[in-house]
Structure 1
């Protein structure tokens, strides 16, 4: 179900899952700067340490230890005006299928049920363009596209599809939920890091002699966070909003990194079959003998698809910012260097 209802309430207290992640941390920074009281669900005290070092702005924050599937989450959520459900487990390893289902699918089902029980007025659910699917070279997808779930590459993408279906079922049952589908954000606080952050780090360390011919959509992580906040106040119940900006090739991104660092961008394109064969040997064979694989089969399979998207709906309906990507790349590089990531092996 999709309706034209916009939210008229002025929120003051919000609940955020996934606050220790890349988007979640930056979202909490924005919420605090905008004067919100934030309750952040974290798995342990260690996950909240970096959040407590954030500049509070005019807002306040408290951490709540728990799990997405904790049946008592509703009591911690009681009194909150809105929920930002950002948390998700990201893994491209085929062995993590059950963890992906438990965290992404069941976790979404249970946190939305908790929000209903706590009488939270509105939910912004962070899905992903992974749930929408990918296209062929030269193809740009919008919110109306849906790759059949059995054609989505990998357990992660399929889990995000089924998690979004949990949100849709809740919407059909009357819950006020807006869905946002971020593309590939870049910026500071990429602590794990994300796959794109890992590309940046490998480039900075000089570990990228080749590149794959693939396409992606890049957006400043600050714009993604504004997209969440704008979806809360302006989004239409039941709608998907792609939060993206610029479609580019991986080579274009590497050239942009070269411009900011002076490090030469790789000039040689590697054939697809080489990393795929390497990944299959590592993950399907060597892993059985205790060798930790360095390349995921599903990650290589995804690189063969072009992930170009149209964010017009979010720009026109929400006012999604489209900030300079060079500045986002520069901030990401600076944050990784400042926090000692480049020196790590």
Structure 2
């Protein structure tokens, strides 16, 4: 039986991926800086960084397949250079060690934040083509773009690597509140919300986990598969949140310029005063302004990927957030 390594296996997507792999009777090893919220007795956990070459090499011992999920997902950090260090150099270290070990199959987990149309003449954003790092809206997306380019370069030179690209995963057990879940919690709390309406592609994290496994098993090396669900306006998401939670809110749309100015101010306060993550970032606003319809057709046709509608995932996420808040 092939043993599987999941880097970042204690994270939001990672823990659901690990559970899905265990349910398929796979032997799983996890490499992560943090232990998971719930240890699975069938899983071997190694605590440490993907930047530690000796530890990465040891974690790859007797491994046949690697899911590389380890990354910094947020868009604000006290030390800005950490994005490039973890997201790019971490990917570089794991791929280098995996190639040296002769790993049979490698999946690199990317992000939809780096996908947008080069021109308004294009149709829905699909799996082909990337812009340059200079086109990216900020440090997070730049680091993820460079990491994906590195991964695809390895694939083009013969390494059996495939790219899985989740959109905005939501669902239960997001203990550290990744950006999509943090956005939903923000809109659950408070009575008045100023919001920038944009196209949102939320997807159940359990569908992402299933999609990553499908990409590993059936994806073509050197290809990217977008793992999302429905692309719908944020305004509609806010209506669903109100309906599901029963909490009434006054939501007022704002312009992109106003949203970016406000986020820039919040970031300045975080950088120089609170040293805590802001409720919004300028990079996040720029990503939202570029957000468009994302096609999952390739993943559906080639992998058999079949995500559920977004409303049940929203219900599960809101139930989890309301349950978590009632415990504090």
Same fold? TM cut 0.5 = yes
How big is the shift at 1:31?
Answer: 0.8
Q: 1:224 to 1:136 in 2, by over 3 A?
A: farther
Report what 1:34 is aligned to.
Answer: 24
Q: Does 1:252 align with 2:242?
A: no
Match of 1:305 among 284, 290, 294: 290
Report what 2:177 is aligned to.
Answer: 193
SS at match of 1:69: coil
Report what 1:211 is aligned to.
Answer: 195
How big is the shift at 1:343?
Answer: 7.0
SS at match of 1:209: strand
Partner Cα separation in structure 1 for residue 321 and residue 273 of structure 2: 34
How big is the shift at 1:185?
Answer: 1.2
- Unmatched 5+ stretches in structure 1: 1-10
Report what 1:3 is aligned to.
Answer: none
Q: How does 1:90-239 map to 2 (within 5 A)?
A: 90-93=73-76, 96-133=79-116, 140-206=124-190, 208-239=192-223
* Counterpart contact for 1:135–1:306, Cα < 8 Å: no
SS at match of 1:14: strand
* Counterpart contact for 1:135–1:305, Cα < 8 Å: no
How big is the shift at 1:264?
Answer: 2.7
Tell me which moved more, 266-275 or 18-27: 266-275
- Unmatched 5+ stretches in structure 2: none
How big is the shift at 1:134?
Answer: 5.5
Match of 2:66 among 71, 74, 83: 83
Report what 2:52 is aligned to.
Answer: 70
Partner Cα separation in structure 2 for residue 135 and residue 242 of structure 1: 17
Partner Cα separation in structure 2 for residue 26 and residue 204 of structure 1: 24
How big is the shift at 1:284?
Answer: 3.8
Q: 1:135 to 1:190 in 2, by over 3 A?
A: farther
Tell me which moved more, 259-268 or 308-317: 259-268
Q: What's the CA shift string for 1:16-39, capped at 9, x where partnerless?
A: 011121111111111111111110
Partner Cα separation in structure 1 for residue 275 and residue 77 of structure 2: 15
Q: Does 1:61 align with 2:43?
A: yes
Q: What's the CA shift string for 1:192-214, capped at 9, x where partnerless?
A: 11111012212222355232121
What do you get for the CA RMSD once the two structures are aligned? 2.3
How big is the shift at 1:307?
Answer: 3.5
Partner Cα separation in structure 2 for residue 240 and residue 107 of structure 1: 20
Report what 1:337 is aligned to.
Answer: 322
Q: 1:190 to 1:278 in 2, by over 3 A?
A: same
SS at match of 1:216: strand
Report what 1:50 is aligned to.
Answer: 37
Q: 1:33 to 1:105 in 2, by over 3 A?
A: same
Q: 1:219 to 1:294 in 2, by over 3 A?
A: closer
TM-score, with structure 2 as normaliser: 0.91
Tell me which moved more, 292-301 or 229-238: 292-301
Q: What's the CA shift string for 1:280-317, capped at 9, x where partnerless?
A: 23434774355654432222222222242001000000
TM-score, with structure 1 as normaliser: 0.87
Tell me which moved more, 275-284 or 33-42: 275-284
Partner Cα separation in structure 2 for residue 65 and residue 41 of structure 1: 6
How big is the shift at 1:122?
Answer: 0.4
Name the count of aligned residue pairs.
Answer: 325
